[in-house]
Amino acid sequence: MKRTPIYSRSARKQRSGAASHPSPGGQAQPQEAAPAPPPPRPPRFVRTRAFIARRERMLLMVVPVLMCVLMFLAYLSLVPGERRFTQHDIDAAVLHTLENNVLPSQESKAYARIRPSVVRVVQEGEQSGPHKGMRGVGTGVVIIDKGVILTNLHVVGTDDKIRLKVHFANGHVADAIVLRRQPENDLAVIQALSVPDDLVPATLRSTQGLAVGDKVVAVGFPFNIGPSASSGIISGLKRTYMSPRDNEVLRNLIQFDAAANPGNSGGPLITMSGEVVGIVTAILSPHEQGSFVGIGFAVPIEIAAAAAGDSPF
């Protein structure tokens, strides 16, 4: 009995023919199998998430650093660059200041420096008129903060019974006594019996280096008005003056043309730095009342400080 084939022979031949081809020698050669296709790539966002998941710890450290760098760069871009000032900028700024601000003069600064050290010296006694109770008024300058004051001998007089009052810059008033007299230089040293807590002594400067034409300021109480300041220049050095009162001759004086009148006696003659170079002692005047005509004299500070017994020169 003939068996019916399950598969047709033609189909087997067809598959067999597709699987092999006869070689030139008549033998069939097997054909290589085709490579398997690559698996499909996952979507981009899936790959990104996987990358982040694998490097999560590193990203947690790097991202903040990058953020800080970006913020710093943004800050630098907003900050204006440093400007270099030129000489033209400096000159323009100085000119603007001078045009819009009134600066104090040298004389004003010198007066402000010496003012706390200048005192009014008053002889007290019986006298009629508007200055009743006042025999004479002059000026003095504090040279030691304990209340040691330089002035003129003709301001305090030669009588020890004369009562002296000293009026300080802050309004404090004190009795005073005469410590020393030096008639040959018309100088006196007095001591205030009480002093303000903030008393400031004057700064003394040697007359070495002074020259004719240097600016000076005379400070005092002319005609009991003041304190007053007047400016001028040094008109001469090593001058000699004879007092019309007692024919006393004073030598080695500083001549100046800053206005001085009765009451300026004993006051300081100062430089533009506010330093004392002399004690105003006399004026040369043809008038009987002794008004100022442009010539004044001061005792050099070296001589005046030596009279106080404490010369720094």
Can you tell me which residue has the tokens 């018309």? 186
- Give me the active site residues, please: 154, 186, 265
Cα 256 to the center of its chain, rounded Å: 33
Distance CA 4, CA 49 (A): 61
CA distance 158 to 134: 16
Q: Residue 248: what residue type?
A: E
CA atoms within 13 A on the CB side of 124: 11
The residue type of 134 is: M
Strand-pairing partners, residue 141, are 118, 150
DSSP string, 71-94: HHHHHHHHSPPPPPPPHHHHHHHH
Which H or E element spans position 10? helix 9-19
Instruction: Output the six-digit token pair for 111.
Output: 């007066």
Distance, in Å, from the CA atom of 255 to the CA atom of 2, rounded to the nearest integer, reads 166
Q: In whole angstroms, what is the distance from residue 269 CA to residue 59 CA? A: 82
Query: Residue 290 and residue 279: Cα distance in Å, rounded?
Result: 18
The number of residues making up the chain comes to 313
The residues, ordered by sequence, that sit 6+ positions from 240 with a Cβ below 8 Å of its Cβ are 249, 250, 251, 252, 253
Q: How many beta carbons lie within 10 A of that of residue 224, not counting itself?
A: 15
In single-letter form, the type of residue at position 237 comes to: L
* Residue whose token pair is 């040697």: 206
